Structure 1
Amino acid sequence: MPKLYKRDESPPARTVMVVAHILGLSYEPHDLNPVFRDQDTPEMVKKNPMKTIPTWEEDDFCLADSHAIIMYMLEKYGKPEHEYLYPKDQKKRATIHQRLFFDCGILFPRLRAIMAPTYMGTLTELSKSKITNLESAYEVLENYLQENLYLADDNITLADISIFTTMSSLYGIYPIDVTRFPKLKAWCDTMSEQDYNKKINELGAKEHADGILAIMNYNKKKQMAKL
């Protein structure tokens, strides 16, 4: 049975968990605690030199990065009824890839730019530059949604699942302005209603966002106590 090294609060891990659920794919879960740097052990570094979460393992094959993992899963385990998630049409697939690259290259790094200093004890609130970066990313997504009902097609695809797990953490930290980004807000509401969100993504996303806000507040109190 495949193994998934994950953390429920991790958006990329939740992406893999959601796709596995849709495919009906069983796996052996192994929780990693990034606070204790479980992903840095020699055993895990051998499996995933990037020291990131999640990692997918099948026998002697290990794969890192949620975007690579979910594409692999669809190629290997997907049935005809799952083709809507990752269509064979080259242009649609290229669009999905581009949206996934946006997630890993722009959207998630902007979440990580909040996470890292928060966990290190230095971030007490979102700075103007961080808010500007988030709003510019929200604007890109709003524009993507001018073209289709979903981010890459008129059906939910891997792009929607991956980006939504990131967004479901982000909008818990910085809510979507429905006046500026109505299509993005409507898309998030639609994704929130999917059964796999309620079963797998929702709780981890809330714990992630609530945890970041709580640590920010703790950091602020700690810094004020030093004054």
Structure 2
Amino acid sequence: MRGEKTVLYKNDQSPPARSVKMLMSLLGLNFIEQRDINPLFREQDTPEMRKKNPMRTIPFIDDGDFSLGDSHAICLYLLEKYGKPEHEYLYPKDIKKRATVNQRLFFDCGVVFQRLRAVMAPTYMGQMTEMPKEVIGGIRNAYGTLEAYLSESVYLADDVMTIADICTISTVSSLDGLHPVDGKRYPKLRQWLTNMYAKDFVKEENQQGCEDHVTYLFAAMELNKQQKSKL
């Protein structure tokens, strides 16, 4: 089944990379080699990396003669390739349940992560010194939708955890560090975070990278502020 060496290219501060690492931990895929890439040094832009991953995103996986970018696609690939019958709850075969999981995955990718990207991109580019009201408003809007989803089930797509929760917790944990989820305004989302934060694979594969990510963003904002004050 394993064939040639499989390599995950990642950075622990990257929320998408953390989601893949969490799934790997849950599936027991400790035979997959992990190699760090520093996006600030544009290490994903080398000709070799561009050929393997034209998106130039982190993470991506190199599985012998097959390469794949996008954390959601990677998680589904690994789950379908290495998942055992006892892992079926993560991506149920029932067509309606699976459709709901897919929708939540698309929401994480298309909406929730974009709210985080609205902080990350201008901060890395030296432009953002603090989060403006419109950015905070976008984050709260995403929180509100997640709260609505959680009014229907204990987890985002079902009453049991699915792959949608694993992918989304990596994004929301960074947002929670930047703009904490208000338990009074979003009680179900706060409870979901508490449930997810308590899981061993989240503690081991997400917590430190998330804390480092948030710390770096705030430090970068402060540095941007100092540099702009000198102009």
Structure 1-normalised TM-score?
0.98
For the residues of structure 2 that align with 1:188 and 1:217, how far apart are their CA atoms? 28
Q: Which of 78, 81, 87 is the equivalent residue of 2:86?
A: 81
Deviation of the 1:179 alpha carbon: 1.2
Q: Which of 57, 64, 89 is the equivalent residue of 1:52?
A: 57
Stretches of structure 1 lacking an aligned partner (at least 5 in a row): none
| Residue 10 of structure 1: aligned partner | 14
1:58-137 equivalence runs, <5 A: 58-137=63-142
Stretches of structure 2 lacking an aligned partner (at least 5 in a row): none
| Residue 42 of structure 1: aligned partner | 47
Deviation of the 1:224 alpha carbon: 2.0
Backbone CA RMSD of aligned residues: 0.7
For the residues of structure 2 that align with 1:167 and 1:206, how far apart are their CA atoms? 12
AA in 2 matched with 1:99: R
Q: Does 2:45 correspond to 1:22?
A: no
Q: Does 2:182 correspond to 1:192?
A: no
Deviation of the 1:141 alpha carbon: 0.2
AA in 1 matched with 2:196: M
SS of alignment partner, residue 126 of structure 2? coil
Deviation of the 1:198 alpha carbon: 1.0
**Deviation larger for 215-224 or 152-161:** 215-224
Q: Which of 177, 180, 186 is the equivalent residue of 1:181?
A: 186
CA deviations on 1:153-194 (whole Å, 9 max, x unpaired) are 001100000000001111111111111111101100110000
For the residues of structure 2 that align with 1:86 and 1:50, how far apart are their CA atoms? 26
Deviation of the 1:225 alpha carbon: 2.9
Deviation of the 1:74 alpha carbon: 1.1
Structure 2-normalised TM-score?
0.96
**Deviation larger for 212-221 or 157-166:** 212-221
After TM superposition, the runs of 4+ consecutive aligned structure 1 residues lying more than 6 A away are: none
SS of alignment partner, residue 153 of structure 1? coil
SS of alignment partner, residue 62 of structure 1? strand
Q: Does 2:218 correspond to 1:213?
A: yes
For the residues of structure 2 that align with 1:190 and 1:55, how far apart are their CA atoms? 28
SS of alignment partner, residue 51 of structure 1? coil
SS of alignment partner, residue 62 of structure 2? strand
Deviation of the 1:99 alpha carbon: 0.4
For the residues of structure 2 that align with 1:219 and 1:126, how far apart are their CA atoms? 12
SS of alignment partner, residue 127 of structure 2? coil
Over the matched positions of the two proteins, sequence identity in percent amounts to 55
SS of alignment partner, residue 58 of structure 2? coil
For the residues of structure 1 that align with 2:129 and 2:180, how far apart are their CA atoms? 17
